[in-house]
């Protein structure tokens, strides 16, 4: 296992050990198989639910774990050592519903949905991106029109993680004529409602298995006024708060894959012999492994500092730090997994070795939750204001 940050509490250390063993026992055996077959591992969902992993942010008052961001990062990191897609299932319904309700939900919404989420069986997706509104999400064009006490939602959403298996989807739609972000509201939409259609499952480079993606099509979907989370025009702010929470969690997943790839590369380098000696004895590879370890440890140190700040309510400068760690960790994951493939040589290019999958998986961490260009824009904005 990698270094444990010194400021971890005893509870966090115990949880880390527990997640480490859980990942070795439950995740490692299926990680490659669910990728190669692009199979949603239904059997693991109840186990995640029993451990409180899916319903992470649901308050204790409603029977949820009310987990901290630090603990979420610990779980994500340990599980991602074997599987990025399963790591993202930790806190799966957080962004989609639990966090929006915590940030802006009415008492009636909390009373309705938190007990349901607390059971750890309900899956929720978050539908912000559209075919013509990705990085510039505030330009989205899905519309919700008032009809008596209801809203009618019409539009398309794209690349929605867990879309094919979601029971609910949080849909961001334009509800008034205010420009850009100010005209956007968020709605809880039951995916079984008339007018909701899903596209076929997206075929992806990696990040397969546990996190299937699809597009959504909404055709005059009728939802009651109570489905709106936050006020009219407040949806985009809710989405940004969710992302700010989630960026360190994505960083933790990225660090986890990098750690897994480093461990695989080191183990291979000690075993593989060329020119009469273990390839680990070649300085050219030792320097690569040292660089990999340095990137991981430095990024992990920043991760747990950022998460601790969030948990302590120290929000001054938090947005820039969350963007920094997401960007640094995912760039590190891409570099480290690519180098791990290089260290394994031809074997690293073959599907028999997990590093092949890890390199494909790492790529998406530079793209989703805001691309790394967007993260750099956020960091620069903090510097310049």
Ligand X SMILES: Cc1cc2nc3c(=O)[nH]c(=O)nc-3n(C[C@H](O)[C@H](O)[C@H](O)COP(=O)(O)OP(=O)(O)OC[C@H]3O[C@@H](n4cnc5c(N)ncnc54)[C@H](O)[C@@H]3O)c2cc1C
Contacts with ligand X by CB under 6 A: the residue count is 20
Least gap, CB of 374 to ligand X (angstroms): 6
Strand ranges, E, within the chain: 124-127, 143-147, 150-161, 168-174, 184-190, 196-198, 213-224, 228-229, 273-274, 277-278
Q: Which residue, 357, 361, 331, is CA-closest to 344?
A: 357
**CB under 6 A: which stretch of 220-228, 243-251, 322-330, 364-372 binds ligand X?**
364-372
| 370, 375, 378, 379: residue in contact with ligand X (rule CB under 6 A) | 370
Residue 355 contacts residue 264 (beta carbons within 8 Å): yes
DSSP category for residue 201: P
**CB 197 within 8 Å of CB 217:** yes
Closest CB 94 distance from ligand X, rounded Å: 12
| Residue 129 contacts ligand X per CB under 6 A | yes
Toward ligand X, which CB reaches closer, 53 or 160?
A: 160
Among the listed residues 134, 199, 233, 320, the single contact to ligand X using CB under 6 A: 134
Residue 123 and residue 97 in contact, taking contact as beta carbons nearer than 8 Å: no
**Residue of 334, 253, 335, 338 whose CA lies nearest to 300:** 253
Q: How far is the CB of 385 from ligand X (least distance, A)?
A: 17
CB of 234 to ligand X, least distance (A): 17
Phi and psi, residue 313, nearest 5°: 75, 15
State how far the Cα of 41 lies from the Cα of 103, in Å rounded to an integer: 31
| Contact range with ligand X by CB under 6 A, out of 7-15, 28-36, 86-94, 365-373 | 365-373
| 160 neighbors 169 (Cβ within 8 angstroms) | yes
The total number of residues shown for the chain amounts to 385
DSSP one-letter string for 12-26: HHHHHHHHHHHIIII
Supply the minimum distance, in Å, between the C-beta of residue 137 and ligand X: 7
Catalytic residue among 26, 78, 92, 369: 369
Instruction: Please say which residue, 12 or 93, places its beta carbon nearer to ligand X.
Output: 93
Asked whether position 48 contacts ligand X by CB under 6 A, the answer is no
Cβ atoms within 10 A of the Cβ of 106, count? 13
Closest distance to ligand X from the beta carbon of 202 (Å): 7
Give yes or no for residue 141 binding ligand X (CB under 6 A): no
Examine residue 368 and tell whether it contacts ligand X (CB under 6 A).
yes
Does residue 373 belong to the site contacting ligand X (CB under 6 A)? yes
Task: Reply yes or no on whether 244 is catalytic.
Answer: no
Angle of helix 354-365 relative to helix 318-344, nearest 10 degrees, comes to 150
Distance CA 282, CA 66 (A): 48
> Segment contacting ligand X (CB under 6 A): 120-128, 227-235, 319-327, 349-357?
120-128
Q: Check residue 12 for interaction with ligand X (CB under 6 A).
A: no
Residue 85 as a binder of ligand X (CB under 6 A): the answer is no
142 binds ligand X (CB under 6 A): no
The closest residue (CB) to ligand X is 134
Site for ligand X in 204-263 (CB under 6 A): 204, 207, 213
If one asks whether residue 301 binds ligand X (CB under 6 A), the answer comes out as no
Q: What is the Cα–Cα distance from 154 to 148, expressed in whole angstroms?
A: 16
Q: Residues interacting with ligand X, by CB under 6 A? A: 125-129, 134-135, 159-161, 204, 207, 213, 364, 367-368, 370-371, 373-374
Active site residues: 369
């Amino acid at each position: 296992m990698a270094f444990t940050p010194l400021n971890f509490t005893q509870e966090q250390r115990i949880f880390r050990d527990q997640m480490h063993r859980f990942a070795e026992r439950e995740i490692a055996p299926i990680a490659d198989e669910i990728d190669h077959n692009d199979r949603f591992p239904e059997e693991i969902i109840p186990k995640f639910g029993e451990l409180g992993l899916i319903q992470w942010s649901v308050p204790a008052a409603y029977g949820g774990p009310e987990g901290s961001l630090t603990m979420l990062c610990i779980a994500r990191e340990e599980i991602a050592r074997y599987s990025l897609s399963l790591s993202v299932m930790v806190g799966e319904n957080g962004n989609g519903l639990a966090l929006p309700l915590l940030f802006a939900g009415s008492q009636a919404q909390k009373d309705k949905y938190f007990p349901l989420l607390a059971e750890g069986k309900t899956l929720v997706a978050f539908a912000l991106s559209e075919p013509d509104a990705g990085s510039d999400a505030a330009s989205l064009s899905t519309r919700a029109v008032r009809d008596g006490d209801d809203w009618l939602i019409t539009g398309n959403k794209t690349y929605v993680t867990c879309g094919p298996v979601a029971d609910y989807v949080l849909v961001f739609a334009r509800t008034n004529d205010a420009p850009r972000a100010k005209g956007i509201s968020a709605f809880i939409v039951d995916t079984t409602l008339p007018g909701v259609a899903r596209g076929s499952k997206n075929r992806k480079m990696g990040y397969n298995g546990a996190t299937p993606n699809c597009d959504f099509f909404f055709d005059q979907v009728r939802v009651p006024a109570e489905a709106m989370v936050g006020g009219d025009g407040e949806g985009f702010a809710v989405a940004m708060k969710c992302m700010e929470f989630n960026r360190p969690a994505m960083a933790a997943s990225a660090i986890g894959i990098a750690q897994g790839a480093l461990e695989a590369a080191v183990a291979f380098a000690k075993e593989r012999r060329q020119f009469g000696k273990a390839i680990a004895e070649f300085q050219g590879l030792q320097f690569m492994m040292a660089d990999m370890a340095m990137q991981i440890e430095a990024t992990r140190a920043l991760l747990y500092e950022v998460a601790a700040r969030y948990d302590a309510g120290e929000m001054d400068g938090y947005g820039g730090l969350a963007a920094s760690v997401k960007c640094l960790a995912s760039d590190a994951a891409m570099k480290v997994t690519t180098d791990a493939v290089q260290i394994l040589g031809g074997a690293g290019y073959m599907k028999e070795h997990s590093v092949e999958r890890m390199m494909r998986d790492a790529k998406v961490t530079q793209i989703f939750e805001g691309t790394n260009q967007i993260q750099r824009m956020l960091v620069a904005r903090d510097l310049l204001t």
